Amino acid sequence: MSLVYTMSCVSDLSLVPKRVTGTRRVAERLARRLSTPRGTLLDGATSTGATISNGDWGMDITNLVEDVLTTRALADMRAEILAQVLKDPDVDTATVSLTTSTANKSLTIKIQGYGQHGIVEATYVATSAGVFIQ
């Protein structure tokens, strides 16, 4: 198992700065990936040594949540979320399911995956304000 860790210090994911490792680290990284507009992350290396290109990283779903989503649009969004999840170096396989709430104008995203840290299961709620881990 890797001893790599990340500092969780952004208030929407953790109110108190702390080290996160393992599956929590992956879950927080996926939340960032789903709430960062493509092209806004600086190019560089990840903590695992993989090189990332800002043109390939991110999918800001927060601006899509309030749209009226057709069945086709949800299927396309699920496929794009899955593609983003599988780009994470710690996720080898994954499934994604989506549930919309028109009353709350939110999207619930359930991700189940497997990688070097074991099973990663995370549920996120996306609103126009951000992507939050439940």
| Spatial contact of 34 and 130, defined as CB atoms under 8 Å apart | no
Domain count, the chain: 1
pLDDT (mean) for 55-73: 82
Nearest 10 degrees: CA dihedral of 93, 17, 54, 127?
70
Token output for 6:
């990340």
Please state which of the ranges 32-41, 80-89, 100-109, 112-121 shows the lowest mean pLDDT.
32-41
The single residue listed with the structure tokens 């990332």 is 52
* CA-derived radius of gyration, the chain: 14
pLDDT (mean) for 114-132: 90
CATH number at residue 16: 3.10.450.40
30 in any annotated domain: yes
pLDDT (mean) for 48-65: 72
Number of residues that this document lists for the chain: 134
70 in any annotated domain: yes
| Spatial contact of 85 and 110, defined as CB atoms under 8 Å apart | no
Query: Does position 9 have pLDDT exceeding 80, yes or no?
Result: no
109 in any annotated domain: yes
Structural domain span for residue 84 = 6-133
**Where residue 54 falls among pLDDT bands split at 50, 70, 90?**
low
Q: What is the pLDDT of residue 3?
A: 42
CB-based burial of residue 5 (10 Å sphere; 0-12 exposed, 13-18 middle, 19+ buried)?
A: middle
pLDDT (mean) for 24-32: 88
1 in any annotated domain: no
Q: What is the mean pLDDT of the chain?
A: 80
96 in any annotated domain: yes
Distance between CA atoms of residues 25 and 32, nearest Å: 11
> Minimal CA–CA distance to 27: which of 107, 101, 118, 128?
118
